[in-house]
Amino acid sequence: MGELLWFLSGSTDDNKLKALSYIAPDKNSIWSANAEDFLTKGKASYKGDLGRIYGFQWRSWNGATGYIQPIDQITQLVKRLREDPFSRYHLVTAWNPSDIPHMALPACHVMFQVFCHVDGGLSLSMIQRSCDTFLGVPYNIASYALLTHMLAHVTGREARELIITFQDVHIYEEHFDVVMQQIRRRPFKLPSLQLNHEVKELTDFTMKDIVLIGYEHHEALKAKMIV
């Protein structure tokens, strides 16, 4: 959930992701390898800089071009969901061709679209261009499921469906052994999600406002991030 809140804040600083997720500065987040690679290539402005990735695109689209007003796609999305719920324009994109050279990693989950139902439901559909099945996809599923619930929460609707279109789905050879360990495990019962009812705006959520009830897990399995 820390990564999602980090995206929503507009940050592209790995140091802030670590702080938000209670990770020690000398430890790695899921983005640290990308940040180190970006720094090694001489593209980063400081250690931890990831360039114009998701947070920038979601909250400041084209904000650095100098000739167009930055577009806050997240603020616009929530406003439109409230004012015109059945519009076909409830779409947020992280794929910005002009900014790809300035990203530590071009967007994998490139866009999502939100749909409101006449009975008060809300569904979200996401397209992912590249899918690291072991390390990335579980994060993406959990993150967008949470986002669906958060959007429903702040717009007075009920979360319904999360639809994800996975493209270029792969498992890296380096991950084969740990993937086999994962497959042999027996899954636990799914937990339930509780959001703080006092939070009214999407960008006001903190880690303390999101609670998983009955969450059980196995010992963590680790694998190298392929950059």
Compute the distance between CA of residue 36 and CA of residue 148 in angstroms, rounded to an integer: 31
Q: pLDDT at position 124, please? A: 98
Q: Select from 66, 64, 40, 69 the least CA-distant residue to 52.
A: 64
Q: What are phi and psi of 181, to 5 degrees?
A: -65, -40
Answer yes or no: is 222 within a domain.
no
**84 part of a folded domain:** yes
pLDDT number for residue 170:
97
CB 92 within 8 A of CB 129: no
- The DSSP secondary-structure symbol of 190 reads P
Tally of domains within the chain: 1
Local structure of 51: helix, strand or coil: strand
Within-domain flag for 109: yes
> pTM of this prediction?
0.95
Tell whether 39 is covered by a domain.
yes
Taking CA atoms, 59 is separated from 25, 78, 176, in Å, by 25, 12, 37
CATH number, domain at 32? 3.30.572.10
C-alpha to C-alpha distance for 47 and 34, rounded to whole angstroms: 11
Answer whether residue 227 is part of any domain. Answer: no
Domain hosting 163: range is 2-213
| DSSP per position, 125-178 | EEEES-EETTTTHHHHHHHHHHHHHHHHHHTT-EEEEEEEEE-SEE--GGGHHH
Q: How far is 225 from 53, CA to CA, in rounded Å?
A: 17
Query: Which of 35, 39, 92, 108 does the annotation list as catalytic?
Result: 108
Hey, which bits of 37-144 come out as E strands? Answer: 91-93, 109-116, 121-128, 131-132
Q: Which residue has the tokens 């000398």?
A: 26
Question: Does any domain span residue 147?
Answer: yes
Tokens 């592209």 map to which residue? 12
Query: Is 108 designated active site?
Result: yes
Q: How far apart are CA 93 and CA 53, in angstroms?
A: 11
Per-residue pLDDT tens digits of the chain, which is 227 residues long: 899 999 999 999 999 999 999 999 999 999 999 999 999 999 999 999 999 999 999 999 986 656 678 999 999 999 999 999 999 999 999 999 999 999 999 999 999 999 999 999 999 999 999 999 999 999 999 999 999 999 999 999 999 999 999 999 999 999 999 999 999 999 999 999 999 999 999 999 999 999 999 999 999 998 988 87
Tokens of 122: 């809300």
Classify residue 26 as left (phi > 0), alpha (psi -120 to 50) or beta.
Answer: alpha
Q: Distance between the two ends of the chain, CA-based, in angstroms?
A: 22
Query: What is the pLDDT at residue 63?
Result: 67
Residue-level pLDDT at 1: 86
